[in-house]
Structure 1
């Protein structure tokens, strides 16, 4: 198949490109940066340099493709420290661009990278953006098949805790304890998407993706062991204190409030209700595998 990927060569895009090229597909990777061209071509793919905010560029790139992989990236919208960005509006704008480009190009097969939390417009915090993107994509004609991929929290998101772990020996969140929650490796996301590209497309389907289940207590113990700090602490602070910390650091107010609300949904388990009602087979990469990678980053 001829497949177009948005999202450049990020944590998912890089292994996804390799998997699809390795399976014999003709892959085009969209990137904003010209310096990515050699890396994309070295993987056996074709680079298309342009912006997903440019509908004409998207339309031309999508033409003659058999399927497209659509995603939005928080960082692609701008800095999380920019108080002027309306992230919800930006996500909606990108989704509408995709709808126009899909309609104008004639694409009929879509795999969309959504997220846990996209099942509801209530109580999911900043994950609300994914609910709205899915709803906008649902406005496409019925003959356009869409596979909505909803991964849970990425292992790689744990790197956001690295500064506090290095400086204070603490993981600071507004929830904790022994309740397990699902996590996912970007590689397992890529592998799942690559597999779904090979399967029939029909209607609109939802696919949750996860790799492992671990609790905050288990995360603390495993990370502490991996970095040689058995006293690593998971410190639970109030939602108000966490919000104050993020706002003091200059994080966009909507994002900060959304993160606090999301952690509240993680704490009471409501974020994962639809996930567990439609629980997928877990991927190959386990949290223990991630701790080895984390330990290497910790030492740098």
Structure 2
């Protein structure tokens, strides 16, 4: 924070590797305080070994942050998403190219916390209608199951499908950097969630889908989470006719919609009936024999 006597005139903060809440009083914006604040934050982050940094800013601030070494990832008329350091988005795109298979594809992004029969149904449906299916599993460790465990459950649950490739998202799809409101669920402000969801959808459509020749994004409908429903709506608006969005009705068993939330509750309550009903055998065995 920067003060003029006792008046706060500039401030900024960071959370892990994300710079946020940077502001300069309008009466002091000609004094290069923004650069001073950001430079100070970067020094503090490096002390904490945060060498890869993200930030959201307004598009008109691009030149200032570019001069500090930040590179644009994606932008819309309201928000610019940038990063500094390595490994960066270019490295992630090279990683995706290494995973690319021949043929047009579909994309699915999931947390899989844990991987349920509903997730499996979504992937199997996409696999029936696509030459290739790329399943992106969230890399954020903000879930009951670790990133490694969720990746393992997804890979085991789709191993019978020869045209499915499972890939971690890193920090470029539904992450604390691109879409922090996703992890707040019902506590998130929906207006903010909409802005973040729109940017996340644009990043997928403009930078990731063309690289892998993804023509369709498959999602499940969302009767439980308002934030996820906002995400589905944002994708519909952003994709328009450039990327096809398929929203599948959520799979039900005995008239009950499958949800990972219900599964996590059943795990706490040791309700074997629910677990056997909602989980594919691969996930059931994974949870049973790794806990």
TM-score by length of 2: 0.34
Question: Larger % of strand: which?
Answer: 2
Structure showing greater radius of gyration is 2
Looking at both structures, which has the greater relative contact order when contacts are Cα pairs under 8 Å and sequence separation is at least 6?
Answer: 1
